[in-house]
Amino acid sequence: MPKSVYVFDAYGTLFDVNAAARQASAEPDHAALADHWPTVAANWRRKQLEYSWLRAVADRHCDFWKVTEDGLDWALEASGLSDPATRERLLALYWELAAFREVPEMLAALKARGAKTAILSNGSPEMLKAAVHSAGIAEFLDAILSVETVGVFKPNARVYDLVEEHFECKKSEVLFVSSNGWDAAGAAGYGFDTAWINRASDPIDRLYANPTHVLTDLTTIPELP
């Protein structure tokens, strides 16, 4: 039987985190990115996540925008790029990341059958609202849940608690969807059924729980049992 609550990670799952570097690299003012943008994008995302985990472990929480800035600074320095204007352009574009092409139709299908939908993200409320507005998907979401409510990043269990608290539902009613293997494992270990969106065909992470479903994109989410 289909779930009644569908909860999505934001960055990398609904929104393409590579879009900012890809777009900036095509702009004449930031041509120095042209040969480096895939590496910059990959390092930016990697450091953004690493810094969130390390801050959670060390109990040194900060707004997700701070780890986003810090991750970009590391990525740019690693590629030998130092233009302040390029840095500012990349950060500006991160507030308006494109959604993956299948996202609006997938969310609309879930809403059409009466399901509840939400984002649960490390992102700050301001970042998430901006991305949702830019992508034009606000009408398909019932809630935007941020870790700032509890002051710790995923995969801390207090973050996943937000879903049950908001929707007053049972874990068995929820499908949690993430493109991050560690996040899918965290939610699975918490007790949610999970779908890992494995766009890169990576191996499953060797962690304490495995995702219920492994998909290549979000298209078939409404068809899952």
Each residue's pLDDT tens digit, 103-153: 999 999 999 999 999 999 999 999 999 999 999 999 999 999 999 999 999
Residue 1 is predicted with a pLDDT of 79
Identity of residue 25: S
Neighbours of 134 (CB within 10 A): 16
Residue 162 is predicted with a pLDDT of 98
* Catalytically active residues, by annotation: 9
Q: At what angle do helices 84-94 and 64-78 cross, to 10 degrees?
A: 140
> Does domain 5-15+97-223 match CATH 3.40.50.1980?
no
CATH architecture of 19-94: Orthogonal Bundle (1.10)
Taking all residues of the chain, what is their mean pLDDT, rounded to a whole number? 98
Residue 57 pLDDT grade (very low, low, confident, very high; cuts 50, 70, 90): very high
Residue 142 near residue 118, CB atoms below 8 Å:
yes
Each residue's pLDDT tens digit, 142-188: 999 999 999 999 999 999 999 999 999 999 999 999 999 999 999 99
Record the pTM: 0.97
Q: Pinpoint the alpha helices (H) of the chain.
A: 19-25, 37-58, 64-78, 84-94, 103-112, 125-135, 157-167, 181-190
Each residue's pLDDT tens digit, 8-26: 999 999 999 999 999 999 9
Where along the chain do its domains lie? 5-15+97-223, 19-94
> In residues, how long is the chain?
225
| Cα separation values, 2 from 13, 43, 129, Å | 20, 37, 28
| Cα separation values, 176 from 150, 197, 225, Å | 19, 11, 13
Each residue's pLDDT tens digit, 67-94: 999 999 999 999 999 999 999 999 999 9
Q: Kindly calculate the radius of gyration of the chain based on its CA atoms and give it in whole angstroms.
A: 17
Each residue's pLDDT tens digit, 199-224: 999 999 999 999 999 999 999 999 99
pLDDT over 90 at 62, yes or no:
yes
Q: Are 5-15+97-223 and 19-94 in the same CATH fold?
A: no
